Amino acid sequence: MAFPENIGQFFSRLINSFRGESAAWRREHQPELDRQREERLVTASELKNRLELMEIRFREECRRTRMEEERQTEQFAEFLASIDEMKANMLDYYATMPKPLALMIHHHAAELLKEAWHSPDARQRVEKQARFTRFMLTVTEDLAALGDGQTAKALPEKTIAFIQDEAE
């Protein structure tokens, strides 16, 4: 029966030895452990502050983007309304013009506007805006010619020619 007591004592001494070595190691390295713990706390605090700052910046950027998108949407709506007005004026001034032709001119203007508005490349956007502007000036010339006392024309010839030139 002595045998199990010896094993028990052996394990007890082994465990106490590990505890003693662990405690000695901890005492010896405690300043380093404390310094590392403090560094972790400081790093965690700095990270938290940076994340809070990034969150604030992100919210503000989202707010600015939302405001810009709302402004852009309002401007786009104004352009579309002016194109609708242009179509109504053309139907009034060119009484004999078939409505589908007026709708096609309106559609062409709306498509040019969409291309100019939504082009991702800045250079292409400027080129498409210039094309839209030329088209609208052509429509304006046709409408202004009627107001200058020139003989009434059945169709907005310059506008139709502009569309045909673009199709070629």
Give 149's pLDDT tier (boundaries 50, 70, 90): low
Lookup: tokens for 13:
């001494």
pLDDT at residue 1 in the model? 44
Query: Could you tell me the CA-to-CA distances from 73 to 67, 70, 80, 91, 118 in Å, in that order?
Result: 10, 5, 10, 27, 11
pLDDT tens profile 129-146: 999 999 999 998 888 887
What is the tens place of the pLDDT at every residue in 42-82?
999 999 999 999 999 999 999 999 999 999 999 999 999 99
User: Within 10 A of 155 (CB to CB), how many other CB atoms are there?
Assistant: 16
Q: Tokens in use for 108?
A: 């062409």
Tens-digit pLDDT profile for residues 6-37: 777 777 777 777 777 777 777 877 888 888 89
Tokens for 133, please give them. Answer: 């502007």
- CB-CB contact of 148 with 128 (8 Å): no
